[in-house]
């Protein structure tokens, strides 16, 4: 999901210069009204919001699968093949249940007021004009790769901090368990 929001943020940042409302003697005054549902739906289609949402859901599934596998392997490092297979079935079943009936259409419909609260008719007209142009189409085409690369760059800087924090958390948990076992006389 974080990937899809990052894509929206990048899209808005790249389109930033388009938001300025222009006034010229022969240009009509820009509308400050919220965009219509039709305008938002056109924008969402152009920006491939449905496809990006579905892609983000797949990424989320993989993230959850990865996290649960890590937790399983830490909890049962010497798991038998039978235990591993049973765990795989549990994760697959839960992920299927969690994502099988995800209401994509409802989510997209629920997003319309969000866009309407942040953009005007004029804003969306200009954004749609830009993203319909050849350079706008190039931005849309390149955006996933740019976002992935930007995420890798960011994580490269963040990963040592994440590792340190996870180590600190692990050490504190171990100390808490040790202190608890001393108080209660239970083995760790």
Q: Where are the domains of the chain?
A: 2-15+30-145, 158-188
pLDDT at 33: 93
Whole-angstrom CA distances from 107 to 10, 36, 90, 123, 143 are 21, 18, 27, 22, 22
User: pTM, whole model, 2 decimals?
Assistant: 0.60
pLDDT at 75: 84
Mean pLDDT, consecutive 10-residue stretches, the chain (188 aa), reads 48 45 52 92 93 90 89 87 90 87 92 95 94 94 91 88 88 88 72
Helices (DSSP H) in the chain: which residue ranges?
Answer: 2-15, 37-46, 49-75, 81-99, 104-118, 121-132, 134-184
- 118 Cβ partners below 8 Å, 6+ apart? none
Question: Distance between CA 154 and CA 99 in Å, rounded?
Answer: 28
pLDDT at 7: 46
């Amino acid at each position: 999901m974080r990937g899809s929001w990052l894509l929206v943020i990048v899209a808005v940042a790249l389109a930033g210069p388009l938001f300025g409302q222009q006034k010229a003697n022969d240009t009509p005054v820009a509308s400050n009204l919220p965009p219509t549902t039709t305008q938002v739906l056109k924008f969402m289609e152009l920006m491939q919001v449905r496809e990006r949402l579905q892609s983000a859901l797949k990424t989320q599934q993989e993230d959850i699968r990865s996290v649960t596998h890590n937790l399983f392997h830490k909890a049962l490092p010497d798991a038998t093949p039978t235990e591993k297979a049973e765990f795989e079935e549990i994760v697959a079943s839960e992920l299927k249940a969690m994502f099988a009936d995800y209401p994509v259409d409802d989510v997209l419909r629920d997003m319309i007021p969000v866009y309407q609260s942040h953009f005007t008719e004029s804003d969306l007209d200009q954004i749609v004009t830009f993203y319909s142009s050849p350079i706008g189409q190039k931005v849309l085409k390149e955006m996933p790769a740019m976002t992935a690369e930007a995420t890798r760059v960011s994580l490269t800087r963040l990963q040592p901090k994440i590792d340190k924090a996870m180590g600190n958390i692990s050490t504190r948990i171990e100390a808490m368990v040790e202190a608890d076992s001393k108080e209660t006389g239970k083995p760790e």
